[in-house]
Protein backbone atom coordinates (compact mmCIF):
# COMPACT_ATOMS: atom_id res chain seq x y z
CA UNK A 1 0.00 0.00 0.00
CA UNK A 2 1.24 3.47 -0.92
CA UNK A 3 1.90 5.84 2.00
CA UNK A 4 0.23 9.23 1.65
CA UNK A 5 2.04 11.43 4.14
CA UNK A 6 -0.12 14.34 5.26
CA UNK A 7 1.52 15.02 8.62
CA UNK A 8 4.30 17.44 7.71
CA UNK A 9 3.65 19.60 10.80
CA UNK A 10 4.70 16.58 12.89
CA UNK A 11 7.89 16.00 10.94
CA UNK A 12 9.18 16.05 7.37
CA UNK A 13 11.19 13.63 5.27
CA UNK A 14 14.90 14.42 5.27
CA UNK A 15 15.74 15.87 1.85
CA UNK A 16 18.30 13.89 -0.21
CA UNK A 17 20.34 17.11 -0.58
CA UNK A 18 20.50 17.31 3.23
CA UNK A 19 21.60 13.68 3.59
CA UNK A 20 24.34 14.35 1.05
CA UNK A 21 25.55 17.45 2.91
CA UNK A 22 25.73 15.53 6.22
CA UNK A 23 27.43 12.37 5.04
CA UNK A 24 31.07 13.45 5.12
CA UNK A 25 30.80 14.46 8.82
CA UNK A 26 29.75 10.92 9.75
CA UNK A 27 32.64 9.40 7.83
CA UNK A 28 35.88 11.16 6.80
CA UNK A 29 35.35 14.30 8.92
CA UNK A 30 34.16 12.73 12.17
CA UNK A 31 36.50 14.76 14.41
CA UNK A 32 35.53 16.73 17.49
CA UNK A 33 35.27 20.36 16.33
CA UNK A 34 36.89 21.56 19.60
CA UNK A 35 40.06 19.49 19.12
CA UNK A 36 43.22 21.53 18.60
CA UNK A 37 44.86 19.46 15.82
CA UNK A 38 44.55 20.46 12.20
CA UNK A 39 42.61 17.32 11.22
CA UNK A 40 39.60 18.59 13.20
CA UNK A 41 39.49 21.92 11.38
CA UNK A 42 36.93 20.86 8.69
CA UNK A 43 34.40 19.95 11.41
CA UNK A 44 34.88 23.32 13.11
CA UNK A 45 34.62 25.08 9.74
CA UNK A 46 31.37 23.23 8.97
CA UNK A 47 29.84 24.64 12.15
CA UNK A 48 31.06 28.14 11.33
CA UNK A 49 29.63 27.90 7.79
CA UNK A 50 26.33 26.59 9.15
CA UNK A 51 26.12 29.43 11.67
CA UNK A 52 26.70 31.96 8.88
CA UNK A 53 24.01 30.30 6.74
CA UNK A 54 21.42 30.27 9.53
CA UNK A 55 22.27 33.89 10.39
CA UNK A 56 21.60 34.86 6.75
CA UNK A 57 18.37 32.82 6.78
CA UNK A 58 17.19 34.88 9.76
CA UNK A 59 17.57 38.14 7.86
CA UNK A 60 21.30 38.75 8.23
CA UNK A 61 21.70 38.68 12.01
CA UNK A 62 25.13 38.32 13.55
CA UNK A 63 26.30 34.67 13.50
CA UNK A 64 27.24 34.96 17.20
CA UNK A 65 23.52 35.36 17.91
CA UNK A 66 22.78 31.77 16.75
CA UNK A 67 22.97 28.81 19.14
CA UNK A 68 22.66 25.29 17.81
CA UNK A 69 20.53 23.02 20.01
CA UNK A 70 18.98 19.57 19.75
CA UNK A 71 15.44 20.73 18.90
CA UNK A 72 12.92 23.56 19.24
CA UNK A 73 11.86 22.27 22.65
CA UNK A 74 15.41 22.73 23.91
CA UNK A 75 15.64 26.17 22.27
CA UNK A 76 12.43 27.30 23.98
CA UNK A 77 13.42 25.81 27.36
CA UNK A 78 16.82 27.53 27.10
CA UNK A 79 15.18 30.87 26.31
CA UNK A 80 12.44 30.73 28.95
CA UNK A 81 14.30 29.25 31.92
CA UNK A 82 17.47 31.16 30.92
CA UNK A 83 15.68 34.52 30.83
CA UNK A 84 13.77 33.91 34.07
CA UNK A 85 16.93 32.92 35.96
CA UNK A 86 18.86 35.94 34.65
CA UNK A 87 16.14 38.46 35.52
CA UNK A 88 14.80 37.68 39.02
CA UNK A 89 13.44 41.21 39.53
CA UNK A 90 10.55 40.66 37.08
CA UNK A 91 8.01 37.86 37.65
CA UNK A 92 5.35 38.35 34.96
CA UNK A 93 5.15 36.42 31.67
CA UNK A 94 2.63 36.92 28.87
CA UNK A 95 1.87 34.03 26.55
CA UNK A 96 -1.12 32.58 24.72
CA UNK A 97 -3.54 29.79 25.48
CA UNK A 98 -2.63 28.03 22.23
CA UNK A 99 1.17 27.66 22.39
CA UNK A 100 2.83 24.34 21.65
CA UNK A 101 3.53 22.37 24.88
CA UNK A 102 7.22 23.33 24.52
CA UNK A 103 6.18 26.84 25.62
CA UNK A 104 2.86 26.10 27.31
CA UNK A 105 4.17 23.48 29.74
CA UNK A 106 7.27 25.52 30.61
CA UNK A 107 5.06 28.54 31.37
CA UNK A 108 2.86 26.36 33.59
CA UNK A 109 5.98 25.07 35.33
CA UNK A 110 7.27 28.63 35.84
CA UNK A 111 3.86 29.58 37.26
CA UNK A 112 4.15 26.72 39.77
CA UNK A 113 7.52 28.08 40.88
CA UNK A 114 6.30 31.60 41.50
CA UNK A 115 6.03 33.38 38.13
CA UNK A 116 2.80 35.16 37.31
CA UNK A 117 1.73 33.97 33.83
CA UNK A 118 -1.02 35.50 31.69
CA UNK A 119 -2.39 33.06 29.10
CA UNK A 120 -4.08 35.24 26.47
CA UNK A 121 -7.31 33.86 25.00
CA UNK A 122 -8.01 33.57 21.26
CA UNK A 123 -11.25 34.00 19.36
CA UNK A 124 -13.15 31.32 17.44
CA UNK A 125 -10.77 31.67 14.45
CA UNK A 126 -7.70 31.48 16.66
CA UNK A 127 -6.82 35.21 16.52
CA UNK A 128 -5.48 37.25 19.44
CA UNK A 129 -7.21 40.48 20.44
CA UNK A 130 -4.72 43.39 20.19
CA UNK A 131 -6.20 45.59 22.96
CA UNK A 132 -6.20 42.57 25.30
CA UNK A 133 -2.55 41.96 24.44
CA UNK A 134 -1.62 45.58 25.16
CA UNK A 135 -3.53 45.57 28.46
CA UNK A 136 -1.67 42.42 29.54
CA UNK A 137 1.76 44.15 29.51
CA UNK A 138 2.74 45.35 32.99
CA UNK A 139 5.65 47.17 34.63
CA UNK A 140 6.87 43.81 36.02
CA UNK A 141 6.53 41.91 32.72
CA UNK A 142 9.75 40.04 32.02
CA UNK A 143 8.92 38.28 28.79
CA UNK A 144 6.31 37.78 26.09
CA UNK A 145 6.18 34.38 24.36
CA UNK A 146 3.92 34.25 21.29
CA UNK A 147 4.25 31.58 18.63
CA UNK A 148 4.59 32.59 14.97
CA UNK A 149 2.17 30.03 13.55
CA UNK A 150 0.10 27.44 15.36
CA UNK A 151 1.16 23.83 14.84
CA UNK A 152 -2.43 22.51 14.98
CA UNK A 153 -4.35 25.06 12.92
CA UNK A 154 -1.64 26.95 11.03
CA UNK A 155 -3.02 30.31 12.27
CA UNK A 156 -0.38 33.03 12.08
CA UNK A 157 0.06 35.56 14.89
CA UNK A 158 1.27 39.08 13.93
CA UNK A 159 4.53 38.57 15.75
CA UNK A 160 6.41 41.52 14.20
CA UNK A 161 3.65 43.91 15.29
CA UNK A 162 3.30 42.37 18.77
CA UNK A 163 7.06 42.62 19.31
CA UNK A 164 7.05 46.27 18.18
CA UNK A 165 4.19 47.11 20.55
CA UNK A 166 5.99 45.30 23.38
CA UNK A 167 9.20 47.29 22.88
CA UNK A 168 7.30 50.58 22.54
CA UNK A 169 5.58 49.81 25.85
CA UNK A 170 8.80 48.85 27.63
CA UNK A 171 12.10 48.12 25.82
CA UNK A 172 13.21 45.92 28.74
CA UNK A 173 10.51 43.29 28.08
CA UNK A 174 11.96 40.32 26.18
CA UNK A 175 10.05 38.95 23.19
CA UNK A 176 10.29 35.25 22.33
CA UNK A 177 8.67 33.62 19.33
CA UNK A 178 8.41 29.92 18.57
CA UNK A 179 8.89 29.85 14.79
CA UNK A 180 8.99 26.07 14.48
CA UNK A 181 6.08 25.96 12.03
CA UNK A 182 7.14 28.99 9.99
CA UNK A 183 10.89 28.46 9.48
CA UNK A 184 11.22 27.84 5.74
CA UNK A 185 7.61 28.90 5.11
CA UNK A 186 7.42 32.58 6.12
CA UNK A 187 10.22 35.19 6.06
CA UNK A 188 12.03 35.47 9.39
CA UNK A 189 13.56 38.90 8.98
CA UNK A 190 15.12 39.62 12.35
CA UNK A 191 16.81 42.79 11.12
CA UNK A 192 13.73 44.05 9.29
CA UNK A 193 10.08 43.57 10.21
CA UNK A 194 10.95 41.25 13.12
CA UNK A 195 13.74 43.44 14.52
CA UNK A 196 12.00 43.75 17.90
CA UNK A 197 12.08 39.99 18.49
CA UNK A 198 14.83 39.04 21.00
CA UNK A 199 14.55 35.26 20.95
CA UNK A 200 13.41 32.89 18.19
CA UNK A 201 13.33 29.09 18.22
CA UNK A 202 12.96 26.47 15.52
CA UNK A 203 13.63 22.78 14.82
CA UNK A 204 15.37 21.22 11.82
CA UNK A 205 13.01 18.32 11.26
CA UNK A 206 10.07 20.52 10.23
CA UNK A 207 12.00 21.70 7.18
CA UNK A 208 13.62 18.52 5.87
CA UNK A 209 16.65 18.35 8.18
CA UNK A 210 16.84 15.39 10.56
CA UNK A 211 15.23 15.14 14.00
CA UNK A 212 17.70 16.10 16.74
CA UNK A 213 18.88 19.53 15.66
CA UNK A 214 17.44 22.99 16.25
CA UNK A 215 18.47 26.59 16.66
CA UNK A 216 17.89 29.49 18.99
CA UNK A 217 18.41 33.09 17.95
CA UNK A 218 19.30 35.20 21.01
CA UNK A 219 19.82 38.87 20.19
CA UNK A 220 23.11 40.27 21.46
CA UNK A 221 22.69 41.73 24.94
CA UNK A 222 19.75 39.47 25.90
CA UNK A 223 20.33 38.46 29.52
CA UNK A 224 20.06 34.68 29.75
CA UNK A 225 21.64 32.11 32.08
CA UNK A 226 22.84 28.97 30.25
CA UNK A 227 20.44 26.03 30.46
CA UNK A 228 23.08 23.34 29.82
CA UNK A 229 26.34 23.59 31.74
CA UNK A 230 29.51 21.55 31.35
CA UNK A 231 31.48 22.89 28.38
CA UNK A 232 32.59 25.97 26.52
CA UNK A 233 30.71 25.19 23.29
CA UNK A 234 28.38 27.73 21.63
CA UNK A 235 30.16 30.60 23.36
CA UNK A 236 29.54 28.99 26.77
CA UNK A 237 25.77 29.28 26.27
CA UNK A 238 25.02 25.63 25.41
CA UNK A 239 27.46 23.00 26.64
CA UNK A 240 27.92 19.67 24.87
CA UNK A 241 29.92 18.50 21.86
CA UNK A 242 28.28 19.87 18.74
CA UNK A 243 26.32 17.51 16.47
CA UNK A 244 28.38 18.40 13.40
CA UNK A 245 26.56 16.32 10.74
CA UNK A 246 23.13 17.47 11.86
CA UNK A 247 24.20 21.11 12.10
CA UNK A 248 25.57 20.85 8.54
CA UNK A 249 22.24 19.25 7.55
CA UNK A 250 20.24 22.06 9.15
CA UNK A 251 22.23 24.62 7.17
CA UNK A 252 21.62 22.74 3.91
CA UNK A 253 17.90 22.50 4.75
CA UNK A 254 17.50 26.25 5.27
CA UNK A 255 19.33 26.88 1.98
CA UNK A 256 17.00 24.46 0.23
CA UNK A 257 13.92 26.13 1.73
CA UNK A 258 15.06 29.45 0.26
CA UNK A 259 16.21 28.16 -3.15
CA UNK A 260 12.79 27.24 -4.53
CA UNK A 261 10.54 28.78 -1.87
CA UNK A 262 7.96 30.54 -4.04
CA UNK A 263 7.34 27.66 -6.43
CA UNK A 264 7.05 25.11 -3.60
CA UNK A 265 4.77 27.36 -1.57
CA UNK A 266 2.44 27.99 -4.51
CA UNK A 267 2.13 24.25 -5.18
CA UNK A 268 1.51 23.37 -1.52
CA UNK A 269 -1.09 26.13 -1.18
CA UNK A 270 -2.90 24.93 -4.29
CA UNK A 271 -2.94 21.32 -3.01
CA UNK A 272 -4.11 22.38 0.47
CA UNK A 273 -6.88 24.58 -0.95
CA UNK A 274 -8.03 21.78 -3.25
CA UNK A 275 -8.06 19.31 -0.36
CA UNK A 276 -9.97 21.71 1.85
CA UNK A 277 -12.54 22.65 -0.82
CA UNK A 278 -13.05 18.97 -1.66
CA UNK A 279 -13.65 18.00 1.97
CA UNK A 280 -16.07 20.87 2.53
CA UNK A 281 -17.98 19.95 -0.64
CA UNK A 282 -18.23 16.22 0.04
CA UNK A 283 -18.80 15.99 3.81
CA UNK A 284 -21.82 17.60 5.50
CA UNK A 285 -21.37 19.38 8.85
CA UNK A 286 -17.64 19.93 8.68
CA UNK A 287 -15.76 23.08 9.73
CA UNK A 288 -12.27 24.20 8.78
CA UNK A 289 -10.60 25.53 11.92
CA UNK A 290 -8.93 28.95 11.64
CA UNK A 291 -10.27 29.38 8.11
CA UNK A 292 -10.99 33.01 9.03
CA UNK A 293 -7.42 33.70 10.23
CA UNK A 294 -4.20 34.30 8.28
CA UNK A 295 -2.74 30.80 7.95
CA UNK A 296 0.43 29.11 6.75
CA UNK A 297 -0.33 27.56 3.37
CA UNK A 298 0.22 23.88 4.18
CA UNK A 299 -2.13 23.23 7.10
CA UNK A 300 -5.71 22.01 7.01
CA UNK A 301 -7.36 21.43 10.38
CA UNK A 302 -10.99 20.48 10.26
CA UNK A 303 -13.64 19.26 12.64
CA UNK A 304 -16.31 16.81 11.61
CA UNK A 305 -19.38 16.99 13.81
CA UNK A 306 -20.60 13.85 15.59
CA UNK A 307 -17.59 11.56 15.19
CA UNK A 308 -14.26 10.91 16.91
CA UNK A 309 -11.01 12.09 15.32
CA UNK A 310 -9.25 8.96 16.54
CA UNK A 311 -11.71 6.78 14.60
CA UNK A 312 -11.02 8.78 11.45
CA UNK A 313 -7.26 8.51 11.91
CA UNK A 314 -7.48 4.77 12.48
CA UNK A 315 -9.42 4.30 9.24
CA UNK A 316 -7.21 6.74 7.30
CA UNK A 317 -4.26 4.65 8.47
CA UNK A 318 -5.95 1.56 6.97
CA UNK A 319 -5.81 3.39 3.62
CA UNK A 320 -2.16 4.41 4.02
CA UNK A 321 -2.97 8.04 4.91
CA UNK A 322 -0.97 9.62 7.75
CA UNK A 323 -2.62 12.54 9.55
CA UNK A 324 -3.02 13.60 13.15
CA UNK A 325 -5.86 14.30 15.53
CA UNK A 326 -6.63 17.33 17.65
CA UNK A 327 -7.43 15.20 20.64
CA UNK A 328 -5.03 13.38 22.86
CA UNK A 329 -6.87 10.06 22.94
CA UNK A 330 -3.73 8.16 22.01
CA UNK A 331 -2.11 9.37 25.21
CA UNK A 332 -4.97 7.92 27.23
CA UNK A 333 -7.03 11.08 27.61
CA UNK A 334 -10.27 11.82 25.81
CA UNK A 335 -9.76 15.56 26.24
CA UNK A 336 -9.52 17.57 23.03
CA UNK A 337 -6.38 19.65 22.53
CA UNK A 338 -5.96 22.81 24.57
CA UNK A 339 -5.76 24.73 21.26
CA UNK A 340 -9.20 23.69 20.02
CA UNK A 341 -10.68 24.17 23.48
CA UNK A 342 -9.25 27.69 23.65
CA UNK A 343 -10.85 28.36 20.25
CA UNK A 344 -14.20 27.21 21.62
CA UNK A 345 -14.74 24.67 18.84
CA UNK A 346 -18.31 23.37 19.39
CA UNK A 347 -18.34 20.27 21.58
CA UNK A 348 -20.06 18.21 18.89
CA UNK A 349 -17.07 18.83 16.59
CA UNK A 350 -14.06 19.21 18.86
CA UNK A 351 -13.61 15.44 19.24
CA UNK A 352 -13.81 14.97 15.47
CA UNK A 353 -10.82 17.13 14.64
CA UNK A 354 -8.11 16.08 12.22
CA UNK A 355 -5.04 17.91 10.99
CA UNK A 356 -3.68 17.22 7.54
CA UNK A 357 -0.46 19.09 6.78
CA UNK A 358 1.22 19.10 3.39
CA UNK A 359 4.83 19.43 2.34
CA UNK A 360 7.15 19.77 -0.62
CA UNK A 361 6.85 16.09 -1.63
CA UNK A 362 3.03 15.90 -1.78
CA UNK A 363 1.30 15.49 -5.12
CA UNK A 364 -2.15 15.85 -6.69
CA UNK A 365 -2.47 12.05 -6.43
CA UNK A 366 -2.13 12.31 -2.65
CA UNK A 367 -4.98 14.81 -2.51
CA UNK A 368 -7.09 12.68 -4.89
CA UNK A 369 -6.61 9.67 -2.62
CA UNK A 370 -7.57 11.61 0.53
CA UNK A 371 -10.65 13.04 -1.17
CA UNK A 372 -11.74 9.63 -2.36
CA UNK A 373 -11.31 7.93 1.02
CA UNK A 374 -12.36 10.59 3.51
CA UNK A 375 -16.09 11.01 2.76
CA UNK A 376 -16.54 7.22 2.91
CA UNK A 377 -14.81 7.01 6.28
CA UNK A 378 -16.95 9.80 7.70
CA UNK A 379 -20.17 8.23 6.39
CA UNK A 380 -19.20 4.85 7.92
CA UNK A 381 -18.40 6.34 11.32
CA UNK A 382 -21.50 8.50 11.38
CA UNK A 383 -23.65 5.45 10.90
CA UNK A 384 -22.60 4.53 14.47
CA UNK A 385 -23.58 7.91 15.91
CA UNK A 386 -26.95 8.24 17.67
CA UNK A 387 -26.98 11.93 16.63
CA UNK A 388 -26.73 11.34 12.88
CA UNK A 389 -29.52 10.49 10.45
CA UNK A 390 -27.76 8.44 7.72
CA UNK A 391 -30.87 8.21 5.55
CA UNK A 392 -30.89 11.98 5.07
CA UNK A 393 -27.15 12.60 5.63
CA UNK A 394 -27.78 15.19 8.32
CA UNK A 395 -27.92 15.44 12.13
CA UNK A 396 -31.08 14.29 13.86
CA UNK A 397 -33.23 17.34 14.75
CA UNK A 398 -32.43 17.15 18.49
CA UNK A 399 -28.68 17.08 17.67
CA UNK A 400 -28.79 20.06 15.31
CA UNK A 401 -29.45 22.43 18.21
CA UNK A 402 -26.32 21.19 20.00
CA UNK A 403 -23.98 22.06 17.14
CA UNK A 404 -23.13 25.58 18.26
CA UNK A 405 -22.52 24.77 21.92
CA UNK A 406 -19.03 24.74 23.36
CA UNK A 407 -20.23 22.91 26.46
CA UNK A 408 -22.59 20.02 26.49
CA UNK A 409 -23.55 16.64 27.77
CA UNK A 410 -23.24 13.51 25.72
CA UNK A 411 -24.36 10.31 27.46
CA UNK A 412 -24.30 12.06 30.85
CA UNK A 413 -20.65 13.09 30.54
CA UNK A 414 -19.73 16.77 30.39
CA UNK A 415 -17.37 17.44 27.49
CA UNK A 416 -15.47 20.31 25.95
CA UNK A 417 -15.53 24.01 26.57
CA UNK A 418 -12.65 24.28 29.06
CA UNK A 419 -10.72 27.43 28.26
CA UNK A 420 -7.15 27.41 29.45
CA UNK A 421 -6.84 31.19 29.37
The active-site residue, picked from 71, 107, 285, 329, is 329
Stretch that binds ligand PLP, among 45-53, 65-73, 315-323, 398-406 (CB under 6 A): 65-73
Which of 94, 102, 143, 207 touches ligand PLP by CB under 6 A? Answer: 102
Task: Indicate whether 71 belongs to the interface with ligand PLP (CB under 6 A).
Answer: yes
Interaction between residue 73 and ligand PLP (CB under 6 A): yes
| Pairwise CA distance, residues 70 & 77, whole Å | 11
Say if residue 114 is exposed, middle or buried (CB neighbours under 10 Å; 0-12, 13-18, 19+).
exposed
**Which candidate, 112, 99, 54, places its Cα nearest to that of 73?**
99
182/303 with CB nearer ligand PLP: 182
Side-chain half-sphere of 43: how many Cα atoms within 13 Å? 22
Which of 54-62, 68-76, 369-377, 407-415 is the region at the interface with ligand PLP (rule: CB under 6 A)? 68-76
CA 49/CA 252 separation, integer angstroms: 10
211 versus 319: smaller Cβ distance to ligand PLP: 211
Of 41-49, 58-66, 174-182, 326-334, the segment contacting ligand PLP by CB under 6 A is 174-182
Q: Which stretch binds ligand PLP (CB under 6 A): 173-181, 278-286, 337-345, 399-407?
A: 173-181
Least spacing, CB of residue 242 vs ligand PLP, in Å: 17
Exposure class string for 14-33: b at 16+ Cβ within 10 A, else e: bbeebeebbebbeeebebeb
- List the beta bridge partners of residue 118: 94
Among residues 12, 181, 325, 344, the one that binds ligand PLP under rule CB under 6 A: 181
Contact pick of 180, 303, 337, 362 for ligand PLP (by CB under 6 A): 180
Give the CA count within 13 Å in the CB-facing half-sphere of 240: 14
148 or 305: CB nearest ligand PLP: 148
Of the two residues 12 and 385, which places its CB atom closer to ligand PLP in the complex?
A: 12
Q: Which is nearer to ligand PLP, 178 or 276 (CB)?
A: 178
How far is it between the farthest Cα atoms of the chain?
78
Find the shortest distance in angstroms from Cβ 71 to ligand PLP: 3
| One of 58, 147, 340, 343 touching ligand PLP (CB under 6 A) | 147
Cα gap 364→270, rounded to integer Å: 9
Q: Is 329 designated active site?
A: yes
* H helices present in 87-195, as ranges: 101-112, 130-136, 159-169
Gap between the Cα atoms of 254 and 183, Å rounded: 8
User: Minimum distance from CB of 211 to ligand PLP (Å)?
Assistant: 7
From the list 17-25, 69-77, 118-126, 136-144, the region that binds ligand PLP by CB under 6 A is 69-77
Strand pairing report for 141-145 and 92-96: parallel
Please report the sign of the dihedral spanned by the C-alpha atoms of residue 108, residue 111, residue 117, residue 123: positive
Q: Is 72 in the site for ligand PLP (CB under 6 A)?
A: yes
Q: Which of 100, 338, 341, 382 binds ligand PLP (CB under 6 A)?
A: 100
Least gap, CB of 213 to ligand PLP (angstroms): 9
* Minimum CB–partner distance for residue 45 and ligand PLP (Å): 26
DSSP letters spanning 331-355: GT--PBPHHHHHTT--HHHHTTEEE
Per CB under 6 A, 357 contacts ligand PLP: no
Q: Going along 234-273, which residue ranges are E strands?
A: none
Is 12 a binding residue for ligand PLP by CB under 6 A? The answer is: no
What CA–CA distance (Å, rounded) separates 224 from 218? 9
8 Å CB contact between 352 and 303: yes
Residue 403 Cβ vs ligand PLP, minimum distance, rounded to whole Å: 29
Q: Identify which of residues 169 and 420 has a Cβ nearer to ligand PLP in the complex.
A: 420
Q: Which of 132, 154, 153 is nearest to 144 (CA)?
A: 132
State the nearest-atom distance from the C-beta of 4 to ligand PLP, in Å: 20
Q: Which residues, numbered 184-243, are part of the site for ligand PLP (CB under 6 A)?
A: 203, 205
Size of the site for ligand PLP (CB under 6 A): 12
CA dihedral 80, 81, 86, 92 (to 10 degrees): 60
Q: Residues in the site for ligand PLP, rule: CB under 6 A?
A: 71-73, 100, 102, 147, 151, 178, 180-181, 203, 205
Catalytic residues: 329
Amino acid sequence: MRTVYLDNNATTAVAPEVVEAMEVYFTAEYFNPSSAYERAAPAAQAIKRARDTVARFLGGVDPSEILFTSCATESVNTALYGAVRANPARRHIVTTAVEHPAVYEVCKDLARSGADVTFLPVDRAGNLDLPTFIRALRPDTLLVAVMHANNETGAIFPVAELARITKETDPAILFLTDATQTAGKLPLDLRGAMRHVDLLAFSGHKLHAPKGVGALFARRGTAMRPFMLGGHQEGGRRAGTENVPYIAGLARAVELAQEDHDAVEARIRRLRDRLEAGLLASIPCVEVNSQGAPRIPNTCNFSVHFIEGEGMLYQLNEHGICGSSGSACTSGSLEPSHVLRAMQVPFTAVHGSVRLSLGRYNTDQDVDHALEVFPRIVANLRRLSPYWDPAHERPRPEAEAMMQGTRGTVGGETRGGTNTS
